């Protein structure tokens, strides 16, 4: 069975390909000739995942899954949320995003935050949504040089170190993305 993962990100594709059951042939957006920027106009993480999966299914006719992730910070009423990639501007600059986040949280006592990944799957006539959440806190200074995005300032609950101080396999065991993808894989493996 062919299944499209609505991403241009080669690393994400390789990672998930290794985990899927063998009867699934995973295709990227490039493989199906989709070079356009798929609109992500929803104001929720779940909504954006659904928009992307529907777009591929409706316009290209493929079974498809799409993911969307955001960081939700309690003291900022859930921001940056759907705007996580572009928090400090359209150039999606991780360093500037982290700097802005730390400055928004200056003098705030509540540092609780969570990452959320939503995966929408359009398979034949059915649609399913899988969600993974990782709760933690935003620390005051950056620590670690692994990972990407907000990893250097995100310390998951029950851990003494940040995502950026963990290797990928350690992070995946507890991360939002790991949880959501394991739920998708369990469903597809049934």
Active site residues: 68
Burial of 56 (0-12, 13-18, 19+ CB in 10 A): buried
Judged by DSSP in three states, 145 sits in: coil
Q: Does 137 bind ligand IMP (CB under 6 A)?
A: no
Stretch that binds ligand IMP, among 56-64, 123-131, 135-143, 146-154 (CB under 6 A): 146-154
Number of amino acids touching ligand IMP (CB under 6 A): 17
**CB-side exposure of 71: number of CA atoms within 13 Å?**
26
- Dist. CA 52–CA 39, nearest whole Å: 7
Helix boundaries (H) for the chain: 10-17, 45-60, 94-104, 168-174, 176-188
Instruction: Determine, following the binding rule CB under 6 A, whether residue 156 of this chain makes contact with ligand IMP.
Output: no
Q: Contact letters (x/-) for ligand IMP, 11-50, by CB under 6 A?
A: ----------------------------------------
**CA 59 to mean position of chain CA atoms:** 23
Residue nearest to ligand IMP (CB): 149
**Alpha-carbon distances, residue 123 vs 9, 48, 97, 141 (angstroms):** 21, 17, 35, 43
Kindly write out the interface string for residues 77-116 of this chain, putting x where it contacts ligand IMP by CB under 6 A and - elsewhere: -------xx------x----x-----------------x-
Looking at 68, 72, 137, 165, which residue binds ligand IMP (CB under 6 A)? 68
Q: Which stretch binds ligand IMP (CB under 6 A): 14-22, 103-111, 144-152, 178-186?
A: 144-152
- Least distance (Å) from ligand IMP to the CB of residue 162? 10
Nearest distance from residue 59's CB to ligand IMP, in Å? 20
Work out the number of other CB atoms within 10 angstroms of the CB of residue 57: 22
Query: Do you find a cis peptide bond into 80, omega within 30 degrees of 0?
Result: yes
- Interacting residue ranges for ligand IMP, rule: CB under 6 A: 68-71, 84-85, 92, 97, 115, 147-151, 163, 175, 177
């Amino acid at each position: 069975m062919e299944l499209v993962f609505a991403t241009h990100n080669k690393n994400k594709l390789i990672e998930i390909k290794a985990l899927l059951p063998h009867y699934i042939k995973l295709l990227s957006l490039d493989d199906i000739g989709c070079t356009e920027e798929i609109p992500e106009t929803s104001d929720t993480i779940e909504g954006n995942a659904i928009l992307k999966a529907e777009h591929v299914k409706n316009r290209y006719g493929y079974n498809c899954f799409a993911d969307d992730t955001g960081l939700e910070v309690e003291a900022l009423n859930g921001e940056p949320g759907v705007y996580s990639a572009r928090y400090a501007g359209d150039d999606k600059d991780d360093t500037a995003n982290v700097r802005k986040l730390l400055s928004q949280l200056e003098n705030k006592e509540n540092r609780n935050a969570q990452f959320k990944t939503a995966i929408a799957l359009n398979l034949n006539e059915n649609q399913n949504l899988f969600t993974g959440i990782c709760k933690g806190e935003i620390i005051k200074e950056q620590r670690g040089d692994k990972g990407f995005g907000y990893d250097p300032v995100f310390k998951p609950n029950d851990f003494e170190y940040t995502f950026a101080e963990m290797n990928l396999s350690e992070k995946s065991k507890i991360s939002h993305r790991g949880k959501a993808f394991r739920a998708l894989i369990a469903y597809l493996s049934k």
